[in-house]
């Protein structure tokens, strides 16, 4: 195991990365609230790309050696394209959920730090490979890059089961979304090392 991730994913690897994230989040409470039916397989990858796609262009998306785990980080100075994210969600999520979805997005936007930081858009392990430590190994290797920059890290996790996992890696809860029918999303920060 190397101390830092191997070479970053290339644009040609995007399809694999989207497939891994889609597989990993198939039972996630928030993602399945957004896409509760067969639309998940069709529409969720568009959301994944909108939120984390800039990580590939920034050379800050990595995968495990077997390509079963993916981490898509936005480094300091690179931000997600909020307009595209809203456009994708508005076009692909049922209209009846828009009010609660918009409220959650607004809460997420208000909570997102303004100081330079690394943003973990996606950390995912293919469903069939979960539980083998691939995500922990990849996250540890990525955090070595983050720590070398002396910047903090931030993420939002839509699954309460992952909060203890991130806490073991130095993240602390700093808030969460609340209200409406959308399941809560937890905000987590890791101070600079």
pLDDT at 112: 96
For residue 3, pLDDT over 90 is answered with: no
pLDDT at 7: 66
Reported confidence tier of residue 1, pLDDT bands at 50, 70, 90: very low
Give the global pTM. 0.94
Bigger pLDDT: 73 vs 6? 73
Reported confidence tier of residue 11, pLDDT bands at 50, 70, 90: confident
Long-range interactions of 158-163: CB distance < 8 A, separation 24+: 158/25, 158/28, 158/29, 158/30, 158/31, 158/183, 158/185, 158/186, 159/28, 159/29, 159/30, 160/29, 160/184, 160/186, 163/188
For residue 2, pLDDT over 70 is answered with: no
Residue owning tokens 């993602």 = 31
Reported confidence tier of residue 184, pLDDT bands at 50, 70, 90: very high
The 186-190 sheet, strands edge to edge: 61-63, 69-74, 117-125, 152-157, 186-190, 172-176
Residue owning tokens 């089961």 = 161
**Domains detected in the chain:** 11-190 (3.40.630.30)
Cα 64 to Cα 74: distance, rounded to the nearest angstrom: 18
Residue owning tokens 């939002």 = 156
97 Cβ partners below 8 Å, 6+ apart? 33, 34, 181, 182
Q: What is the pLDDT of residues 87-146, one digit of tens each?
A: 999 999 999 999 999 999 999 999 999 999 999 999 999 999 999 999 999 999 999 999
Average pLDDT over residues 76-86: 95
């Amino acid at each position: 195991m190397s101390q830092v991730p191997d070479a970053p994913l290339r644009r040609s690897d995007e399809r694999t990365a989207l497939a891994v994230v889609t597989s990993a989040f198939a039972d996630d409470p928030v993602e399945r609230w957004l896409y509760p039916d067969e639309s998940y397989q069709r529409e969720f990858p568009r959301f994944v790309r909108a939120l984390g796609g800039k990580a590939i262009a920034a050379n800050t998306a990595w995968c495990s050696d077997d390509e079963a785990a993916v981490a898509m980080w936005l480094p300091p100075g690179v931000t997600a394209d909020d307009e595209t994210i809203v456009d994708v969600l508005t076009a692909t999520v049922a209209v009846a959920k828009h009010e609660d979805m918009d409220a959650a997005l607004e809460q997420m936007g208000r909570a997102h730090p303004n100081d330079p930081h690394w943003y973990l858009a996606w950390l995912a392990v293919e469903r069939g490979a979960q539980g083998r430590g691939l995500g922990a190994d990849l996250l540890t290797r990525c955090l070595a890059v983050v720590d070398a920059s002396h910047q903090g890290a931030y993420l939002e996790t839509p699954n309460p089961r992952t909060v203890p996992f991130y806490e073991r890696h130095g993240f602390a809860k700093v808030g969460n979304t609340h209200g409406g029918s959308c399941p809560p999303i937890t905000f987590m920060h890791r101070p600079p090392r």
